[in-house]
Chains A and B, each alone.
Chain A
Amino acid sequence: MSDEATLKDIERARREWEKRTLARSLEASPERSGKFMTTSSQEVGSLYTPSDNADLEYMEDLGFPGEYPFTRGVHATMYRGRLWTMRQFAGHGSAEDTNARYRYLLEHGETGLSVAFDMPTLYGFSTDDREAEGEFGICGVACASLEDMEILFEGIPVDQVSTSMTINGPAAVLWAMYIAMAENRGMGSEVLRGTIQNDILKEYQAQKEWIFPPEPHMRLVVDTIEYASEHLPLWNPISISGYHIREAGSTAVQELAFTLSNGFEYVKWCVERGLEVDSFAPRLSFFFNAHSDLFEEVAKYRAARRIWAREMKERFAARNPRSWWMRFHTQTAGVSLTAQQPENNIVRVAIQALAAVLGGTQSLHTNSMDEAWAVPTERAVRIALRTQQIIAHESGVTSTADPLGGSYYLEWMTDHMEEEAYRYFDRIEELGGVIPAIGKGFYQREIARSAYRYQREIERKERVIVGVNAHITEEPEVVEYLRIDREAERRQLKRLKRVREKRDSRKVRGALEGLRKAAEGEDNLMPPILECARAYATLGETVETLKEVFGLYEEPLVY
């Protein structure tokens, strides 16, 4: 950013400094380690100066918040205008249990809901399916029919609160239940605000909650995006997610590159369907991880915004500035939580949440200290939420947009991660694109390799994890944790039985048959899926109908 003559002076002065001051200092006391690296094993230099940002063009690469390329944030006022949405991912046991937790969170100042479904629901099974055994309500709430959805949101003003649902394989079905729930309460779908995760590509790459093979799954995703653009203008029909890629073991650069390249793949499919890019791109949303390496994370978010804006504008010829901006949710890194000395996790989460805020996130989930043991207790969740509130109101980082912008180190890191991401885009292209690369096990191999390297670095103590490989205490861990009430499972099974008995079974059969016919053809599947939801067809029945047409997916095994 400086002129050439100044840069030369700085270069010269730096070499002088290295010879004179740095060398002397190293002689007196050497550095602690032969190599300094980020959480993603990226080597870091001892000092960054304007000469490390020599290629940076302020107007082109950074610009102003709320303007292209959005490196400094998507809103002109950033958090001076409105704070991020504090959205705690929650769900356990039955719909009644989770409904109570939501009311608790809203009473404590949470501003948006985020539904965690249990494992059977995530895979499209109903609670009474054989595959669901032992899994009820542990990782989230079971939602097997419209009735569960109605109980889940009872007394919650869904026309005012925005709801995010972490659901992928059967996303269209759960979304249809949500829409039908609102209809039954007399609301039109156009008032509903929220997000379904609905990002199937990262399931094949990292999270593994797929049902069908990639092509029919992609069709369903495009169907939901198309349906949202026509009927739910305030809904984000997809949250393109790097979170799970990172949790599975990727580096920050891999998270950045794979997520963005998945995003471009969705845009390509939608455009091929004949959708006008500006009709859907403004509602695409993203979801990233926040790990503990503060600068690396902040650089990742900034690079992500810049790449997305550039590609949407230049490659996909989007004209609406809202199609260029990347809005994202962030969750702190579950994998970074230690089972040892769990209270230390409060500090980790605070640093990670700070990174997300310094990176300009639109919404944030902070993990609870006890999550390396089980789903969190209410007390732990409250501390996690308070952590966000302390950052918002006490740290001062919300007073100005992109407060770290211009840091030589951060700008170098942002550029560097961007370059590395483009290298990955090229590799994926060479493999034939995203879906062929999935079939070749590319992502799994890349992620497994990074995960193993990270673990080895811990084992060799090249990486210190406090309480795990250093500063260990021998006290036994005393953790309170939430147990799932088995009685809730019996109640849920009873309810499901009652739903099956009291619904109009002819209507259910008709709706399922309608869905099957539509799936065999090419029409948008949202209307027939909605019919199934309205008829109280169960999740399992609806997904099973689609399985019969689409088949199942088998993954290539790579480790």
Chain B
Amino acid sequence: MKKIRVLIAKPGLDGHDRGAKVVARALRDAGMEVIYTGIQKTPEDIVEAAIQEDVDAVGLSILSGAHMTLFPRVTKLLRKRGMGDVLVVGGGIIPPKDALELKKAGVAEVFGPGTPLNTIVDFIEKNVGKKPDVAG
């Protein structure tokens, strides 16, 4: 079976990459191919990388609080570039109310602090390749 390809990306300015790196490594250990962008990527950089790397899923990590501006921009740009079927998930310091809104904007799931790594692995394995429930 083809390996799931995941882009782990850090939009926004914050340099808190602990979570992104731990998740990247867990997905790799779970047999996925993982590409990590490094910090401070714009939504445009991230979508470009997703296209170049032909990924099945994009994991966005942000701890600066700019998620409400930057996550929806990634999902919108992906749709615009014909990559609307890419599974987008997010994590970081994201209050529950914001998480609900992000889901409406096409982020399939938001993983807050304390989420077990297996939960993230399972979610990606189960949902990759499925059309997102929410249309843009």
A residues contacting B by CB (< 8 A) are: 119-120, 122-123, 125, 131-135, 138-139, 203, 207-209, 247-249, 335, 337-340, 372-375, 448, 451-452, 455, 459, 465, 467-469, 476-477, 479, 481, 484, 555, 557, 559
Pairwise interchain contact A448-B13, C-beta atoms closer than 8 A: no
Give residues of chain B (19-38) contacting chain A, Cβ–Cβ below 8 Å: 20-22, 24-26, 36, 38
Counting chain A CB atoms within 10 Å of each CB, the highest count among B24, B25, B68, B95 belongs to B95
28 A-B pairs with C-beta separation under 8 A? A119-B13, A123-B13, A131-B13, A133-B69, A134-B68, A135-B66, A138-B64, A203-B15, A208-B17, A247-B16, A247-B18, A248-B16, A248-B17, A248-B18, A337-B113, A372-B93, A373-B93, A374-B93, A374-B95, A375-B65, A451-B21, A452-B26, A455-B117, A479-B95, A481-B95, A484-B65, A559-B17, A559-B24
Whose C-beta in chain A lies nearest to the C-beta of B118?
A459
Answer whether residue B54 sits at the interface, using C-beta atoms and an 8 A cutoff: no
B119 to chain A: closest residue by CB: A459
Q: Which 10 A-B pairs have the closest CB atoms?
A: A208-B15, A134-B69, A138-B65, A559-B21, A134-B66, A119-B13, A339-B113, A468-B114, A135-B66, A372-B113
Query: Within the complex, what minimum Cβ distance (angstroms) separates A247 from chain B?
Result: 7
A248 vs B17: C-alpha distance when bound (angstroms): 7
Having A135-B64, A455-B22, one finds 7 other A-B pairs with CB under 8 Å, namely A125-B13, A133-B69, A135-B66, A138-B66, A451-B18, A559-B20, A559-B24
| Residue pair A451, B22 in contact (C-beta under 8 Å) | yes
Let me know if B55 is at the binding interface, CB within 8 A: no
Closest to A207 in B: B15
Interface presence of B49 (CB below 8 A) = no
Spell out B's residues near A (CB within 8 Å): 12-18, 20-22, 24-26, 36, 38-39, 64-66, 68-70, 93, 95-96, 112-114, 116-118
Chain B neighbourhood of A208, CB < 8 A: 15-17, 39
* Chain B hits for A138, CB < 8 A: 64-66
Contact, CB under 8 Å: A135 / B18: no
**A119 near B12 (CB under 8 angstroms)?**
yes
Q: Are B18 and A249 in contact (CB under 8 A)?
A: yes
| Docked complex Cα distance between A134 and B21 (Å) | 23
Shortest distance from the beta carbon of B33 to any chain A beta carbon, whole Å = 14
**Partner of A119 from B25, B66, B112, B117 at Cβ < 8 Å:** B66
B114→A339 contact, CB < 8 A: yes
Once the chains bind, are A465 and B114 in contact (CB under 8 Å)? yes
Q: Are A139 and B64 in contact (CB under 8 A)?
A: yes
Q: Choose among B15, B24, B36, B112 the residue with the greatest number of A CB atoms under 10 Å from its CB.
A: B15
Closest to A121 in B: B13
Query: How far apart are the CA atoms of A119 and B93 in the complex, in Å?
Result: 15
Q: Given the complex, which residues of A lie within 8 Å of B70, measured CB to CB?
A: 134
Give the chain A neighbours of B96 by CB distance below 8 A: 476-477, 479
CA distance A134 to B70 in the complex (A): 7
When distances are taken between beta carbons in the complex, the residues of chain B under 8 Å from A337 are 113
Distance in angstroms between the alpha carbons of A208 and B24 in the assembled complex: 18
Residues of A within 8 A of B13 (CB): 119-120, 122-123, 125, 131-132, 135
Q: Is the CB of B12 within 8 A of A135?
A: yes
Q: Point out the residues of chain A lying under 8 angstroms from B38, CB to CB.
A: 555, 557
Minimum CB–CB distance for B19 against chain A, Å: 9
Q: Are B15 and A209 neighbours in the complex by a CB distance under 8 Å?
A: yes
Please measure, in the bound complex, the distance between the C-alpha atom of A133 and the C-alpha atom of B72, giving whole angstroms: 14
A211 vs chain B, min Cβ distance (A):
11
Closest CB-CB distance, B90 to chain A, in whole Å?
Answer: 14
Contact partners of B21 in chain A: CB under 8 A:
448, 451-452, 559
Residues of A within 8 A of B93 (CB): 372-374
Q: In the complex, what distance in Å separates the CA atom of A559 from the CA atom of B19?
A: 11
A532: min CB distance to chain B, Å: 22
Closest Cβ of chain B to A366, distance in Å, is 18
B91–chain A nearest beta-carbon distance, Å: 11
Cα(A283)–Cα(B69), bound, Å: 41
Of all chain B residues, which has the CB nearest A467?
B114
